[in-house]
Amino acid sequence: MIPNKAEVVIIGGGSMGICTAYYLAEKGCTNIIVIENQKELGGHTTSRCAGAYRHQFSTPVNIELSKWSIAEFQRFKECFGYNYEMDSCGYMFLLSEDDNIESFKESVEIQNKMGIKTEWLTEKSIRQMIPMVSTEGIVASTYYPKDGLLDPSSVVNAYISEARNMGVEFFAGVNVIGIDTEHEKVSGIITSEGKISTRTVVIAAGPWSAQIGKMVNIDIPITPVPQQLTYISDIPWDTKDFPVTIFVNEGLGLHKEGKGLLTGLTKAAPEKTEYDFNKLSVDDDWELINCEKVINRVPSLENSLIQSSWIGFYETTPDSHPILGKIPDVEGLYCSAGFNGHGFMHSPVCGHLISEEILHGKSVTLDIDTLRIDRFRKHKTNKSEKFKI
């Protein structure tokens, strides 16, 4: 039975909600409840994400989020003895349009100043590192060897275990129906299993976050965009040293997954903004386009096999940056969503920052003022992130 009272209720049991619960509990907060509408914790966008982590971003705030989170993944692993692997296989962005070179050079300069020694690769270097990839039309490339891959499920399960050890309660398969307020302050939430009295609610619902905001007449500018991944087996070469490889202008991504490869092709944002998330099916036409692009870039994969495909979501915002922190319209309401495909890799730091904001009134580890929701109302949005797919 779901409790009728909590200190903090977190809506969303993916990596963001789970990490928020963990860092709240670590700081001494008690009586924390996490509500997840899927049957399994981390069972939707987190479990379906690519699992990559990287320092290569174009804005200082995103770079800072990555630096803290990636270090924390390692610290957490060593502190509690978990054996999830951080595979620093490297991360490569390849450009095929001259118009992008200057902006990427500016971004690399920012990265270098912040201690991230991203490299510019020559075509010869690219061919040496990934000889199986066609570099036809490639005009520039960036590479950072300390970026890489993590298994989302292993990481999330580790955080769940430690959060439970500190008393956090998780409830999966429960829908949030409404948020109660009194005098513009949170007073509780209404779920499919009953009401919970609370003065603090965190919206960490990923692509569902805009729908949750509507429950209190708040416009949270997050648009869910379906994305599709395909797993390919029978690779005719050893994938061990293959880096995460992004063809920026083609919207194509490839990385190793076990002895196979995972590939995805970016979809443009559709006009539709609400979905029945449990009734989505793989787009066969899109899968075909994706595979054609893969074969064009890696001809040796022509006879490889498609083993499976699945759909997840990007939770996009107008400036490609997350919405983080308190929502000023309703006291006690917070948001940690809209990560534009970077939520898993940034979940430790954002969980930590939201926990600081709740317990101390303001995040202190990093300045998140540029990520607050009121930037859209004040027309002070961030420069759009360039290192994305």
What are all long-range contacts of 188-196, with beta carbons under 8 Å and residues at least 24 apart? 189/9, 189/11, 189/35, 191/2, 191/35, 193/1, 193/2, 194/1, 194/2, 194/4, 195/4, 196/2, 196/3, 196/4, 196/5, 196/6, 196/9, 196/33
The ranges of the chain annotated as CATH 3.50.50.60 are 8-48+153-222+319-378
Structure tokens at 307: 């083993």
CATH of 8-48+153-222+319-378, one of 3.30.1280.10, 3.40.50.620, 3.40.50.300, 3.50.50.60: 3.50.50.60
DSSP alpha helix (H) spans, 176-302: 209-214, 284-297
pTM for this prediction: 0.94
**Ranges for all domains in the chain classified under CATH 3.30.9.10:** 88-148+223-316
What pLDDT tens digit does each residue of the chain (389 aa) get? 899 999 999 999 999 999 999 999 999 999 999 999 999 998 777 878 888 999 999 999 999 999 999 999 999 999 999 988 899 999 999 999 999 999 999 999 999 999 999 999 988 999 999 999 999 999 999 999 999 999 999 999 999 999 999 999 999 999 999 999 999 999 999 999 999 999 999 999 999 999 999 999 999 999 998 889 999 999 999 999 999 999 999 999 999 999 999 999 887 666 656 666 667 788 899 999 999 999 999 999 999 999 999 888 889 999 999 999 999 999 999 999 999 999 999 999 999 999 999 999 999 999 999 999 999 988 767 777 766 66
Residue 389 pLDDT: 65
For 88-148+223-316, which CATH superfamily applies? D-Amino Acid Oxidase, subunit A, domain 2 (3.30.9.10)
